[in-house]
């Protein structure tokens, strides 16, 4: 199963027909096919990395939260315990599964006044066989036929269950807030759930802090740490105090990267550069572009303020620009802007080609106020 496209109405403060497309649209060179794209069916290529960029409060987080919601439905067939309302959200998801293109549509409702769960209403599932000769019309209504599902489900369970049948991790969402002392518990739970070796953990830890050679879980709140060649027992609270926020967050994120690459699920990261050196982020992106490492067609989806990272991409159709006026809008760099491919993307951002620059006049206004 691979998610191809998402369209939404009434999701948080998004504009209507809010859309994110994973399918490669522009010309595909042999170099792109080697480093930028992954073929999930004959001539059906999706991106191995997708970036959402924009200035503060532009809606980048909103975009990846929408993807998180969609992946929750595709993986767990439910949507619950989110920080936003589901009420009246209209969703359309196109995904590829077992030779077919599926289209799933639903209108969500809150299960109660506090909206802890989503109720699925007006559900409709269609499908059509995928043919490479029809790649340009992949989303065209022509050829779709309705899938009649047999059986009844609880109202908080999606009919996608009848198509995918088994729960699975389709993606993991890593937000920008951090998990505090829960980070270490989640770290070792990830190692166990995805059968990741402790050798991998040791290598990940030394990336962020070369003084630490090993970390072993003793129980839910205590750990044995090898620090500068000496072993000591520390609690999770002591770990949080002793380690930098970048080390704590980085250990979990990089282990999730390993799990994503080894198991083929997508990884959605909000503010990928938060607490990290630029080189670490560049390395993370390079892992998803390397087919000898990314053997199971995982995709890295991230938001960022580091527009320099975009120059790691040869393509433009995997870059979305978030802008917020009254509503959040998402525009594709390839589809919506005519810029020469040989120009550095970060230079275009600094030249405010995409209307993403920080307001200089407001900065100067603050400076003048401070001088008084």
pLDDT mean for each 10 residues of the chain (372 residues): 97 94 93 95 96 88 96 96 88 98 96 78 97 93 94 94 96 87 93 92 90 91 92 93 90 95 96 83 93 96 84 88 89 74 55 54 60 66
Rounded CA-CA distance 260/298 in Å is: 6
Nearest CA among 295, 297, 304 for reference residue 322: 304
What is the predicted pLDDT for the residue at 95? 98
Question: From CA 108, how far away is CA 339, in angstroms rounded?
Answer: 39
- Looking at domain 2-170+269-359, its CATH superfamily turns out to be P-loop containing nucleotide triphosphate hydrolases (3.40.50.300)
Nearest alpha carbon to residue 196 among 250, 242, 252, 236 = 252
* pLDDT computed for residue 311 by the predictor: 82
| Ramachandran class of 139: left when φ > 0, alpha when ψ lies in -120 to 50, beta otherwise | alpha
Give dist(CA 28, CA 46) in Å, integer.
11
Which residues 6+ apart lie within 8 Å of 176 measured at CB? 61, 270, 271, 274
Q: State the distance between the two ends of the chain, measured CA to CA, in whole angstroms.
A: 60
Domain parsing of the chain, residue ranges:
2-170+269-359, 173-264
Do residues 91 and 18 lie in contact, with contact meaning Cβ atoms separated by under 8 Å?
no
pTM assigned to the model = 0.90
SS3 assignment, position 210: coil
Tokens of 327: 């509503």
Six token digits for residue 160: 């996608």
pLDDT of residue 346: 58
Q: How far apart are CA 107 and CA 122, in angstroms?
A: 6
DSSP bridge partners of 40: none
Beta carbons of 94 and 5 less than 8 angstroms apart: yes
Q: At what angle do helices 245-263 and 278-289 cross, to 10 degrees?
A: 0
**pLDDT tens readout for residues 171-201:** 999 987 778 889 999 999 999 999 998 889 9
What is the per-residue pLDDT for 299? 97
């Amino acid at each position: 199963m691979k998610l191809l496209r998402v369209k939404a109405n009434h999701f948080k403060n998004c504009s209507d027909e809010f859309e994110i497309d994973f399918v490669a649209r522009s010309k595909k060179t042999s170099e792109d096919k080697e480093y930028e794209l992954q073929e999930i069916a004959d001539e059906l290529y999706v991106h191995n990395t997708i970036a959402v960029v924009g200035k503060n409060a532009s809606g980048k987080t909103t975009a990846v939260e929408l993807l998180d919601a969609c992946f929750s439905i595709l993986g767990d067939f439910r949507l619950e315990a989110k920080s936003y309302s589901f009420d009246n959200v209209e969703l359309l998801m196109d995904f590829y599964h077992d030779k077919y293109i599926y289209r799933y549509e639903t209108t969500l409702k809150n299960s109660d006044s506090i909206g802890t769960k989503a109720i699925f209403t007006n559900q409709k599932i269609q499908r059509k066989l995928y043919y490479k000769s029809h790649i340009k019309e992949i989303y065209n209504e022509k050829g779709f036929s309705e899938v009649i599902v047999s059986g009844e489900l609880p109202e908080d369970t999606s009919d996608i269950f009848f198509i995918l049948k088994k729960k699975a991790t389709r993606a993991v969402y890593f937000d920008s807030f951090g998990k505090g002392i829960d980070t270490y518990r989640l770290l070792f739970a990830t190692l166990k759930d995805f059968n990741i070796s402790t050798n991998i953990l040791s290598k990940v830890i030394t990336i962020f802090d070369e003084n630490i050679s090993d970390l072993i879980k003793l129980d839910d709140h205590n750990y044995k740490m090898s620090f500068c060649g000496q072993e000591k027992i520390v609690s999770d609270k002591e770990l949080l105090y002793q380690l930098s926020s970048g080390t704590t967050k980085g250990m979990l994120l990089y282990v999730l990267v390993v799990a994503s690459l080894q198991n083929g699920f997508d990884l959605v990261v909000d503010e990928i550069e938060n607490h990290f050196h630029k080189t670490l982020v560049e390395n993370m992106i390079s892992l998803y572009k390397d087919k000898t490492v990314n053997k199971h067609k995982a995709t890295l989806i991230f938001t960022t303020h580091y527009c320099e990272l975009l120059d790691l991409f040869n393509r433009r159709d995997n870059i979305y620009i978030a802008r917020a006026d009254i509503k959040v809008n998402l525009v594709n760099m390839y589809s919506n802007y005519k810029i020469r491919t040989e120009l550095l993307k970060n230079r275009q951002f600094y030249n405010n080609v995409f209307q993403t620059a920080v307001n200089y006049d407001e900065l100067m206004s603050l400076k003048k106020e401070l001088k008084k």
